[in-house]
Structure 1
């Protein structure tokens, strides 16, 4: 069973998400929080597999809460679910270590798939968000190339390693692994691990 903590300052949004997710046989919403600060406290207590995190909330923003949660709970994954898709918001969430970034116009199928993927340690991006990340990392031809560390991380993904495995192997945090993956996704113009590995191989990068 995939345990989920919902974080959003609007009760009606949480109600809708709870009903949607609890209808899935393998997903269980175990708690709700209305602010980033409350989310950190509840995550410590509940230790959910996945946190669905809004970004802009009174009483503590989602990006800061994401960083705090992931610094303490190695087995918890955060998926940002927000109405905001500005470059600054996306980068703050990615740098905080979020496993995914979805917009609130996501379909039920997209949302449940993202929760399941995040619980497995995979990274998920809404297509429009991937596009914005691409524009962030592509300042010119030289910047389109994968860094040595991004190639190293993708090589370990190709071998079947999880983000946690990669972090231990390279002596970096799991949040840092996710950041390398998201930047690689953007440079390769893909939105998941499988496509990233396939594309990198086809380009002779792996």
Structure 2
């Protein structure tokens, strides 16, 4: 797999914007247009499109929304790391307290910025992430995982039940989940059934929807 070519000092940072809202995709371009060292080279509205364009455009930074129509940011990050080694990812979200933020950071995102950040903050964050620095919006500086633990406690879910449910939300089958989490298929089935019962869901689709309602997905 080809690696992103090194950028020379004369070249601006290439940024791919990934968001399902056109206003956000267009707005980012307007926000950074005064920085000659940043160039928005493309935009995507889904995770699959983001991976395809990233492989084609070889951006330096992917500005990635947390929740896309086809997948969550952590899965997009996994695919980007396989297809475009060395690309930097900056999460750009309106949901700073969403459980998937910590997962995305654990999967390799270089940072997270809230969408109401000021223009200089966005440009600075892009530069810092491209340089390999960790950038976290100051408003997100709560103990890592504390918000997730609180939400899990409120829903009555264990961390393992949540892990299985999150994999389901990514579209994975029970055998795939078992391999990913190093569990048996029967154990995955049990965790999922218990999680659905606790959420009051009759099937996978309802479980995903109800978990989303309480900010777990």
TM-score (norm 1): 0.63
Give the match for residue 202 of structure 1.
Answer: none
Asked if structure 2 preserves the Cα contact closer than 8 Å seen for 1:90 and 1:129, the reply is no
Query: Aligned to 1:122, what secondary structure does the other structure show?
Result: coil
The Cα shift of 1:3 comes to 0.3
Aligned partners of 2:85 and 2:57: how far apart in 1? Answer: 13
Query: Aligned to 1:74, what secondary structure does the other structure show?
Result: coil
Q: Does 1:30 align with 2:44?
A: no
Q: Residues 57 and 132 (structure 1 numbering): CA distance in 2 closer, same or farther, change over 3 Å?
A: farther
Q: Does 1:49 align with 2:49?
A: no
Give the match for residue 133 of structure 2.
Answer: 122
Asked if structure 1 preserves the Cα contact closer than 8 Å seen for 2:111 and 2:136, the reply is yes
Give the match for residue 99 of structure 2.
Answer: 88
For the pair shown, the structure with the greater C-alpha radius of gyration is 2
Q: Residues 5 and 137 (structure 1 numbering): CA distance in 2 closer, same or farther, change over 3 Å?
A: same
What is the count of residue pairs matched by the alignment? 139
Q: Residues 73 and 129 (structure 1 numbering): CA distance in 2 closer, same or farther, change over 3 Å?
A: same
Where structure 2 has 5 or more consecutive residues not aligned to the other structure, the ranges are 1-11, 150-217
The Cα shift of 1:86 comes to 2.4
Q: Supply the RMSD in Å over aligned alpha carbons.
A: 2.1
Aligned partners of 2:106 and 2:18: how far apart in 1? Answer: 19
Higher helix content, 1 or 2: 1
Deviations along 1:22-74, whole A, 9 cap, x unmatched? 32110000000001111011111111000000011112222211121023323
The Cα shift of 1:115 comes to 0.2
Give the match for residue 78 of structure 2.
Answer: 67
Aligned partners of 2:146 and 2:72: how far apart in 1? Answer: 25
Asked if structure 1 preserves the Cα contact closer than 8 Å seen for 2:73 and 2:100, the reply is no
Give the match for residue 10 of structure 1.
Answer: 21
Where structure 1 has 5 or more consecutive residues not aligned to the other structure, the ranges are 139-206
Query: What pairs up with 1:153-172 in 2 under 5 angstroms?
Result: none
The Cα shift of 1:128 comes to 2.1
